[in-house]
Amino acid sequence: HTPSCGSTMAEAMPPSGVDPTLLRQLKIKTGSCKRVSKELVSYEKELEREQAKTDSMKEEQADPSDIKQQEAVLAETKMMIPDCRRRLEGAVDGLTSVVEECEDSEGMGSTEELVEAKQVLADAEAQLG
């Protein structure tokens, strides 16, 4: 007997009165929104690092071909951010729809999944500005 057996069973059984399909959609959309949000943060941090590295190479008068290669890396990182923002906007829209559906559904109002989804939405919307 492993400790995880009990928790797996508990996760499989939604609280009474909760639509299991809707709950599953909520978990999927919340996870997707979280993942894309983390990805955007990662690209933004990478952009800062690559910009600092490029600036440093220029100050140190590194080999022009190395600087050019670093600028290409920087440009590639910059190109990823708008795409990632669009994907986050799509994830926010999808999660918003499911959250609204959950709020209209009997028994979903106080589930921890809905509370988490609303927090993820708030964070993602703040991140998008």
Please give the chain's pLDDT, 129 residues, in tens.
444 444 444 455 666 677 889 999 999 999 999 999 999 999 999 999 999 999 999 999 999 999 999 999 999 999 999 999 999 999 999 999 999 998 888 777 778 999 999 999 999 999 999
**Cβ–Cβ contacts within 10 Å for residue 50, how many?**
18
Closest CA to 25 of 84, 102, 89: 102
